Amino acid sequence: MAHRRTRYRDIIAIGASAGGAHALSELAGGLPAELPAAVLVTQHISPRSPRVLAEILSRAGNLPATFAINGEPIERGHIYVAPPDHHLLIGQDRLLVTRGPRENGHRPAVDPLFRSAARQYSQRVVAVVLSGTLDDGSAGLVAVKARGGIAIAQDPEDALYSAMPRNAIERDHPDHVVPISELAELLCTLVQQRLRPLATNGRDTEQPIPDSAEPQGEDSSPIPVSCPECGGPLFGGREGSMTTFRCLVGHRFSPASLDQEQARNLEASLWSAARGLHERAELVRRLAREHGSGSVSTLYLDRARAFEEQAEAVVAAVQRLGSESEQYTEANT
């Protein structure tokens, strides 16, 4: 796919999470075999998930679907799926499949795909956010629109999980918001529209950009929060109108994802503290038994009871946090 001669939208990048497989299957069923665009799909999946999504999409419609291979040329009329535990990016007319830093707690993540597509293909990109929780994909849509691409969100009322498309709508104001039943027809219309050249002083400025998914010129400043993934310092910055956070090694978070990952780490730390207190209680009880029935033994038993009370207080705190987390999750699904 040549960068400079193509004047049509020929890159369709799609991001999905919970409930996305159903939406993707319905979409694949509506796309024609002669679609003049490549379709790249990132679906949040576990690293241990079976590699079945590509086969499901192939069976659902007329386009062949395969898991992306690093360095593979991009061909129109083909669906490329991010493999488990790998980001799917776009380089210069080829696919990049990497095990780069997690973003928003995920690998594969949607934002890296959208950003790399925007940087390499600018107005030739159509980016779509489907069903899912939290807000992965919102910052990526901002990048796509900033470079002249088209942003689409599934109608939240139509999605099995509404948070991802709803956050995209609130933060990016996509060009189109449609139910999944209308998406294939919309995409077919968009890829047939001829684009005006990007020009300055009569010269074409649509140039390939080095293979990278990192935004340039980001105004970052350190914040007093550590990275949930590696414990390093986090830097806050802006991607368009959206605040994002990134650590030195490249882990990146949207606000909602950072909040969720911090909550998970805090819960893990509290459970570790509760375990440590129970272990301390068990140790001093053993010491009490070794000292028989004297005053030293009584002191050890008092300490054991104190450790157990502290452990119970920590467990109660974890349960309160869990209740708050459930309320937050319900509001973001």
Q: Long-range contact list for 322-328, CB < 8 A, 24+ apart?
A: 322/267, 325/263, 325/267, 328/259, 328/260, 328/263
Q: Which two tokens stand for residue 320?
A: 């309160």
Confidence of residue 35 (pLDDT cuts 50, 70, 90): very high
Q: How confident is the model at residue 325 (pLDDT cuts 50, 70, 90)?
A: low
Tell me the mean pLDDT in the region 158-169: 96
256: left (phi over 0), alpha (psi -120 to 50) or beta: alpha
Alpha helices in the chain (DSSP H): 20-30, 53-60, 110-121, 138-146, 163-172, 180-191, 255-290, 295-331
105-148 per-position pLDDT tens digit: 999 999 999 999 999 999 999 999 999 999 999 999 999 999 99
**Catalytic residue chosen out of the listed positions 17, 131, 254, 257:** 17
Residue 17 a catalytic site member: yes
> Which stretch of 17-31, 73-87, 305-319 has the lowest confidence by average pLDDT?
305-319
pLDDT of residue 224: 87
For residue 255, give Cα distances in angstroms to 108, 135, 138, 164, 166.
18, 8, 11, 13, 15
* Averaged pLDDT of the chain: 88
Which pLDDT value is given to residue 198?
Answer: 60
Handedness of CA 186, 191, 192, 193 (dihedral sign): positive
Active-site annotation holds for 44: yes
Which is catalytic among the residues 10, 111, 135, 136?
Answer: 136
Share of the chain above pLDDT 90, in %: 66
Helix H or strand E encompassing 247:
strand 242-247
List the catalytic residue out of 44, 86, 106, 251: 44
Q: Position 26: which residue type?
A: E
Per-residue pLDDT at 329 exceeds 90: no
| Side chain identity at residue 81, one-letter code | V
223/208 Cα distance (integer angstroms): 34
Determine the average pLDDT of the residues in 84-103: 95
Q: How many Cα atoms occupy the beta-carbon half-sphere of 85 within 13 Å?
A: 6
Contact (CB, 8 A) for 126 and 114? no
Q: Which two tokens stand for residue 287?
A: 């010491």
* 242 vs 61, more confident: 61
Residues near 41 by beta carbon (within 8 Å), at least 6 away in sequence: 14, 15, 16, 24, 53, 57, 65, 79, 80, 81, 82, 88
Q: Is 162 left (phi over 0), alpha (psi -120 to 50) or beta?
A: alpha
Q: Cα separation of 264 and 310, whole Å?
A: 21
The tens digit of pLDDT for each residue in 165-219 reads: 999 999 878 999 999 999 999 999 999 999 977 654 433 344 444 443 444 434 5
- The pLDDT of residue 210 is 41
Of 35-44, 254-263, 315-324, which one has max mean pLDDT?
Answer: 35-44
DSSP letter assigned to residue 42:
E
Say if residue 65's pLDDT is above 80.
Answer: yes
Identify the pLDDT of residue 54: 97
Amino acid 199: pLDDT:
52
